[in-house]
Structure 1
Amino acid sequence: MASNRRALVTGASAGIGEAFARELARRGFDLVLTARRADRLEAIAAELRDRHAIEAVVAPLDLARPDGPEALVAALASQGLHIDVLVNNAGYGVTDYLDEQPWSTHAAFMQVMMTAPTELIWRLLPGMKARGYGRIVNVASLAGLVPGSAGHTLYGASKAYLIRFSQSLALETLGTGVHVTALCPGFTHSEFHDVNGARQLVSNMPSFLWMDAPTVARQGLDAVEAGEIVYVNGRVNRVIKALFKLLPDRLALKLTEREGRRFRLRRASSPHP
């Protein structure tokens, strides 16, 4: 059990984030849960308090706010709450080509996907080092390890950033008691595809490509505990990563462009609610 250890999970109201909260509670960690949906966070926190006899604090927050990470860490400090485990999970996807969305949409996306997790680590890392214990899981994606695709211009790029950032940070924290892992799941059952409007389309994909969120979370915590710096969930995803690594860049991009074009055509022809 994780006596007196506390974890902060971003995007904890559903999907992989909720699964991380549940797995951490099962392992005995106290929790700080943050996301935009306060009612959903409260319900999860109440359930986990009762089931696992842990403390669970709710901190509703939109990480698209530039002052969000600073405000969150300041609020925790004012309550005397230190963070031993950070799971940077909050995220979403923006569809359409780069110039088809207003800049404000892209700015908010980059704030949530790259700036906020980096700032949270910058603010919480000194305390972890001082206590000689810390676990940081940056939820990246298989998309950060394969060529980028049209229509999701910044998604793969943001995940590639998290992977490279995690690798550098892991080297910087060697010997401090802090472990850093970039977690790279592929298709995972969650609300992600409902938010970006692709649920009906991706539901037609083969079942062997999919994983469930609790498995992803459990593997992620095991990986960071073991000191794995980059962990790809699932055999199928590891095979996909290996294949793209072996392919020449030109061929890999051509395959990605072809499959991306097929996906966009199917999406354009699929009925919308």
Structure 2
Amino acid sequence: MASHRRALVTGASAGIGEAFARELARRGYDLVLTARRADRLEALAKDLRERHAVEAIVAPLDLARTDGPEALVAALEAQGLAIDVLVNNAGYGVPGYFEEQPWATHAAFIQVLMTAPTELAWRLLPAMKARGYGRILNIASLAGHIPGSAGHTLYAASKAYLIKFSQSLALECAGTGVHATAVCPGFTYSEFHDVTGSRELVSKMPGFMWMDAPAVARQGLDAADAGKAVYVTGRVNRAIKSLFKLIPDTLALKMVQRQGRRFRTGPRGG
């Protein structure tokens, strides 16, 4: 159990982020919860305080703001709140073909899923190293291990980035007491597919393909504590990753293309 250690969870208002917050609180960590929806954060913080007697602070923030990570860390430092565990979870999908979305939409996506987690890690890492303890969990995806699909052009690319970033960071932090881990879930029960409008389509996936968010959080935190640089949650997902490593790239791309037609949203889907 944690003793006077604190975790920062981004995208904590629902889904995998909420599950990480709950699991960290269960393990005794104090929390800083950030997301856009302040009402949900307040309700979650209240519940965690009552259930686990931990400190839970709410810091509403839209990480699409380019000054968001700097402002958040400055506010924490001003309050004397050290962060021992960073869970970079905030994220979403942008359905539709690449050129059909305005550049501002893509720029915001890159800011939230790539720039913000990288900057938060950069700003919090020195103090973690100085204290001799830290965990940086970048919530990537199985999608980062397989070819990108049409219709979510930047999603797999952003997750592949988080995987490579975590690997390099893990090597740089070796021996310091700080562990960096890319946690790679597959299909997970959450609001993600409701937000992207793909709930009806992905519901066609067989039940054995799905995991629940609490299981992802438990496995992810255990992997970080064990010092694993990359961890794919669930046996089925690990089998899929292994399969795509073995087959030729051209065949893998064709498989993703064929499967993607079944689950694509937007005007060119189907």
TM-score bin, normalised by smaller chain = over 0.9
The answer to whether the 8 A contact 1:184-1:230 is kept is yes
Does the 8 Å contact 2:96/2:267 carry over to 1?
no
Is 1:239 the counterpart of 2:250? The answer is no
Contact 2:133–2:176 at 8 Å: present in 1 too? Answer: yes
**Structure 1, unpaired ranges of 5+:** none
- 2:217 is matched with which residue? 217
**Is the contact made by 1:114 and 1:162 (CA closer than 8 Å) also made in structure 2?**
yes
| Maintained 8 Å contact 2:96/2:266 | no
Structure 1 counterpart SS, 2:7? strand
1:34 matched to which residue of 2?
34
Deviations 1:206-240 (A, max 9, x none): 00000000000000000000011100011110111
Calculate the TM-score normalised by the size of structure 2: 0.98
Map 1:134-173 → 2, pairs under 5 A = 134-173=134-173
Residue 229 of structure 2 aligns with an amino acid whose one-letter code is: I
Distance across 2 between alignment mates of 1:226 and 1:267: 45
Superposition RMSD in Å:
1.4
Q: 1:193 to 1:123 in 2, by over 3 A?
A: same
CA contact (8 A) 1:34 1:58 kept: yes
TM-superposed CA distance for 1:269, in Å, is 7.9
How many pairs does the alignment contain?
270
SS in 1 for 2:8: strand
Given that 2:38 and 2:60 are in contact with CA atoms closer than 8 Å, whether structure 1 keeps it comes out as: yes
Please give the secondary structure, in 1, of the residue aligned with 2:264: helix
Preserved CA contact (<8 Å) 1:136 1:179 = yes
d(CA) in 1 for partners of 2:132, 2:173: 10
**Is the CA contact 1:26–1:52 (under 8 Å) kept in the aligned structure 2?**
yes
Contact preservation (8 Å) 1:185, 1:233: yes
Distance 1:266 1:96, change over 3 A: closer
Instruction: Measure the CA separation in 2 of the matches of 1:177 and 1:257.
Output: 42
- Alignment correspondent of 1:110: 110
- Residue 87 of structure 1 aligns to a residue whose secondary structure is strand
Alignment of 1:1-273 (within 5 A): 1-264=1-264
Q: Distance in 1 between matches of 2:93 and 2:265?
A: 18
CA contact (8 A) 2:133 2:178 kept: yes
> For residues 22 and 105 of structure 2, what CA distance do their matches in structure 1 show?
31
Name the SS for the 1:123 alignment partner: helix
Q: Report if aligned partners of 2:3, 2:29 keep a CA contact under 8 Å in 1.
A: yes
Amino acid aligned to 1:18:
E
Q: What's the % identity of the aligned pairs?
A: 79
Note the C-alpha offset of 1:257. 1.1
C-alpha contact (below 8 Å) 2:95/2:265 kept by paired residues: no
8 Å CA contact 2:88–2:117 kept in 1: the answer is yes
Deviations 1:77-112 (CA, angstroms, capped at 9, x unpaired):
010000000000000000111100000000000000
Query: Measured at CA, do residues 118 and 251 of structure 1 come closer, stay the same or move farther in structure 2, by a change above 3 Å?
Result: same
The runs of at least 4 consecutive aligned structure 1 residues that moved more than 3 Å come to 265-270
Distance 2:10 2:214 in 1: 16
Q: Aligned-pair distance for 1:266? A: 10
Mapped to 1, the partners of 2:125 and 2:82 lie a distance apart of: 11
